[in-house]
Structure 1
Amino acid sequence: MPPLLVVFVGFLGILLYLGGLGSPADHMRDMPVAIVNQDEGATVENPDGSSTDQELGKEVTETLVKEVNDSGEFDLQEMSMADAHDALTSGDVYGAIVVPKDFSQRSMDLIPASIGGDGDGAQPTIELVTSPQAGSMSSRLVTEGFTPALESVSSNLGEQLTSGADQQVQARQKAGQKVPDVTTVAQDILKDPVNVDTHAWQDLDGGTALGMGPFYWSIVVLVVGMTGSIAVTTLVDGILGVVPVEMGPSFRKYRTVALSRLAAFFLKWGIMIASSAAAVGLMMLAAHLVNMPMPNGGLLFLISWLSICTISAATLGLLTVGGSAGLILSMIYLIFLGLPSAGAVVPVEALPDFFAWLSKIEPLHYTWLGVRDVLFFSAEPNAGLEQGTWGLFAIMGCSVLVVAVIAPLWDRLSGRRGLIHGTHNAHNVPSTPPETDGPGTAAQGGRLSA
């Protein structure tokens, strides 16, 4: 059993962790991204003397929305600049595409500039705004996901501009005007006119671990809640006489105090609730010493405390219901299933369906949502703090409910822990020495009985 367990744990860890995070681009679906069209258009003089209004920004926006949304990987949403700012502030979108006011004007000015006419030849720009605060990999997914689409936009626009330049050249030649040759550089710019400016919506502060600070904080919270619960269980069970207490060379068996499983659960959980408050306080002191920014420190304390209380309730619940198997069950539930489904490394929208569903029942996901909101999004309730809080309370309530139902049933089926069912002899040792054939054997029996 022990070696098989080691093999199983290693296999399961890689299967779940890399299975959830190994290929995020293959599982992307409806990642929300904003698109803002600020283009004011341009008026273009035709060779025949008439003029035409061009709204290239509108064309680009409509093309991108159709092509990107048809792929199913992103949910590209048209917004005003103010709405896009609010969406980035609350973490509702992972990035934004911004078409500036002079997009059409700069695009059309390339035509006369390339054939020796008016125009400064400045290329039109499209901004690709990322949000590193939303997640460590979201910026990369947005950048890599939209680069081909924006390259296609530039190529299509280049065909229009090249055709327009050819028409201008032909019109001038017919009018007997001398037209300079279009240089190779000008031809290349006309074919690929759009310059993509990729930048972050807001720069990350120092001490935030390049945006991973909320996730690292959540991992520490998870470790404190899980390992603390295991340690409390071991020590409390030892003091209650359920198991021996071994500290280095010391080995001691306390007198058995046969509490019910439910009472033992609430005793251990009460210890965790009280001690976790102090643990969070020292975590914040350590964060201050290493210059980690902690805006909204009071809310950071509360969401961290709530998280440890929830994780300890889940861990102690599994230990109460599963006994020794609860150790493995806790590791599988909280670590092997929790890490890949947290949404911190890979956005939930880029996880396989199974792991995206798991995020709804994993405390690490809700802890990260709340901590990320407090640290990066001004503690706006709709940016994750509200969802994280209610998710943690729901998991905590379910854990307590399961223990309240199953623990008394286990007591009725097998008796209280530390006592063998049907007898009060905890060690199951014969109360009288066995029959012996000689003094030496009898002495050994006496020592065994003692």
Structure 2
Amino acid sequence: MLPLIYLSATVDPKGEMRDLPIAVVVEPQSVEGTIAAAEVVSDAIRDHLGEGFSIAEIAPDELAQEFAEDRIAGAAIIPANFDESMTSLSDPANSAPSTPTVRILTNAADGGLSGGLVSGSLAPLITAAGEQIGTKIAATAASLPPANKLLLAHPVHVEVGPYEALPDRSGLGTSAFYFGLVLLLVGFIGASVVHPLLDSVLGFIPTEVGPIVQRRSYIRLSRVRTLASKFVLMLLLAPLAAIIVQAVAATVGVATPQPLALWAFASATIAAIGVSALAVFAIFGSGLGSLANMLFFIALAMTSSGGTVPIAATPPLFRWLSTFEPFHPIMEGLRALFYFGENSPAGLDNAWIRIVIGGVVGLTLGFLFAAIYDKIPRFSRHPEPAIERVAVHN
């Protein structure tokens, strides 16, 4: 199951990509060329980029907000002097023409793979469109200087870079992913420890420390009260665990801006994951519950997080899973806190909403099933096995 989940989610990001959002910005041209080169390049992007991208043509003054709110993975910028630079190549009197340039800006906060998909798809297309324009100019122009002819063979220079560089010590855009992974594991492992710990304190299962085995006297508690005790312990431990995670991150030098907001978000994340995992234990029991938690909170959550591979570049199953799996909103919230200055429209608001909803759903389902099981005598949690009377025939 694990190889199937992990490998199928990441085997072909470019082939699976659908609707990765990018923008095209055509600045008002300072000089109108006879070929309208800027329009030709923008049309080529729009018509030939394919269904892997969702293309929005926006005004130059809208670009900053699109990046600040993490709405786009990248953008192609055709500058105001593009037509003028292209026209200068056809002027025989101009022996020092300027090179037409298109900038590809990537959203560094989305990770290196996202930037590679954007630049790797846009750059060849822009270059090919420029070569077509150069061929038309060369066919119609009079005798040209050697420098002009050389430039017309490959007239457009493509510059690639991030719109805004990430802070130092941010793991090249991976720090949010690994910080989120730690929170996920702390919540999952915390629930996996709290569940048997409370059961052993209540005498439901023995306590084992190495070769030492001890069973306490059984304390009769209903399933609901037992689960409530586990929930309370998990909720008390979550803020302490969040402080420890942040302290370790600070010790190793991870850039963690907005420490108070990050602590609140980390505490809520650990608590929501923990109580939800405890609810799964309450519903399915220790054995099957461990497997269900591992699949839902680790394997499927990681592959649908968008932390390493953009959600738009994963198979349809994982794009669907991202709508309710917990790691995706955790990633959105942490990216907003780490890279976007606590900007709510960049994903923090949505992350808070989904984490709270997830925690409430976990609490509700856990109590609901525990109450149902309490009402059925054969589902008693008493640890002593029932002694059946056996008729002995001589």
Please tell me the TM-score bracket, short chain as reference: over 0.9
Name the residue aligned to 2:291: 328
**Map 1:195-344 → 2, pairs under 5 A:** 195-323=157-285, 324-344=287-307
Does residue 417 of structure 1 match 2:381? yes
**Map 1:111-130 → 2, pairs under 5 A:** 111-112=90-91, 115=92, 117-130=93-106
- Separation (CA, whole Å) in 2 of partners of 1:294 and 1:334: 24
- Separation (CA, whole Å) in 1 of partners of 2:177 and 2:227: 29
Residue 268 of structure 1: CA displacement?
0.9
**Map 1:384-423 → 2, pairs under 5 A:** 384-413=347-376, 414-419=378-383
Residue 55 of structure 1: CA displacement?
3.3
- Separation (CA, whole Å) in 2 of partners of 1:396 and 1:35: 40
Does residue 152 of structure 1 match 2:131? no
Whether the 8 Å CA contact 1:41–1:57 is kept in 2: the answer is no
- Separation (CA, whole Å) in 2 of partners of 1:136 and 1:190: 32
- Separation (CA, whole Å) in 2 of partners of 1:240 and 1:358: 37
TM-score of the pair, normalised by structure 2: 0.93
**Cα deviation code 1:194-218 (max 9, x no counterpart):** 0000011112222111110000000
Residue 54 of structure 1: CA displacement?
5.2
Whether the 8 Å CA contact 1:39–1:99 is kept in 2: the answer is no
SS in 2 for 1:111: coil
Residue 105 of structure 1: CA displacement?
1.0
Flag the 1:56–1:208 CA change in 2: closer, same or farther, 3 A. Answer: same
Whether the 8 Å CA contact 1:136–1:344 is kept in 2: the answer is no
Q: Residue 139 of structure 1: which of 90, 108, 115 is its match? A: 115
**Cα deviation code 1:141-189 (max 9, x no counterpart):** 1111212311221122112221232xx23xxxxxxxxxx7x53x64342
Deviation larger for 341-350 or 58-67: 58-67
Residue 121 of structure 1: CA displacement?
2.2
Does residue 88 of structure 1 match 2:67? yes
Whether the 8 Å CA contact 1:39–1:104 is kept in 2: the answer is no
Task: Return the letter of the residue paired with 2:331.
Answer: W
Q: Residue 372 of structure 1: which of 324, 329, 335 is its match? A: 335
- Separation (CA, whole Å) in 2 of partners of 1:119 and 1:106: 13
- Separation (CA, whole Å) in 2 of partners of 1:161 and 1:149: 19
TM-score of the pair, normalised by structure 1: 0.82
- Separation (CA, whole Å) in 1 of partners of 2:380 and 2:60: 64
Whether the 8 Å CA contact 1:100–1:126 is kept in 2: the answer is yes
Name the residue aligned to 1:357: 320
Name the residue aligned to 1:17: 6
Whether the 8 Å CA contact 2:44–2:126 is kept in 1: the answer is no
Residue 427 of structure 1: CA displacement?
5.3
- Separation (CA, whole Å) in 1 of partners of 2:300 and 2:204: 31
Residue 358 of structure 1: CA displacement?
0.4
- If you compute each CA radius of gyration, which structure gives the higher value, 1 or 2? 1
Flag the 1:39–1:191 CA change in 2: closer, same or farther, 3 A. Answer: farther
Name the residue aligned to 2:140: 164
SS in 1 for 2:303: coil
Residue 412 of structure 1: CA displacement?
2.8
SS in 2 for 1:389: helix
SS in 2 for 1:199: strand
Task: Return the letter of the residue paired with 1:80.
Answer: A
- Separation (CA, whole Å) in 2 of partners of 1:307 and 1:402: 18
SS in 1 for 2:90: helix
- Separation (CA, whole Å) in 1 of partners of 2:80 and 2:62: 17
Name the residue aligned to 1:346: 309
- Separation (CA, whole Å) in 2 of partners of 1:138 and 1:153: 23
Residue 119 of structure 1: CA displacement?
4.7
- Separation (CA, whole Å) in 2 of partners of 1:236 and 1:277: 19
Whether the 8 Å CA contact 1:41–1:56 is kept in 2: the answer is no
SS in 2 for 1:338: helix
Flag the 1:380–1:43 CA change in 2: closer, same or farther, 3 A. Answer: closer
Residue 130 of structure 1: CA displacement?
0.8
Whether the 8 Å CA contact 2:90–2:148 is kept in 1: the answer is no
Whether the 8 Å CA contact 2:332–2:351 is kept in 1: the answer is yes
Flag the 1:64–1:430 CA change in 2: closer, same or farther, 3 A. Answer: closer
Task: Return the letter of the residue paired with 2:132.
Answer: N
Residue 344 of structure 1: CA displacement?
1.0
- Separation (CA, whole Å) in 2 of partners of 1:136 and 1:192: 27
Structure 2: gaps of 5 or more residues: none
Task: Return the letter of the residue paired with 1:95.
Answer: G
Residue 41 of structure 1: CA displacement?
4.3
- Separation (CA, whole Å) in 2 of partners of 1:146 and 1:260: 61
Flag the 1:98–1:25 CA change in 2: closer, same or farther, 3 A. Answer: same
Task: Return the letter of the residue paired with 2:104.
Answer: L
Whether the 8 Å CA contact 1:100–1:125 is kept in 2: the answer is yes
- Separation (CA, whole Å) in 1 of partners of 2:138 and 2:276: 65
Residue 286 of structure 1: CA displacement?
1.6
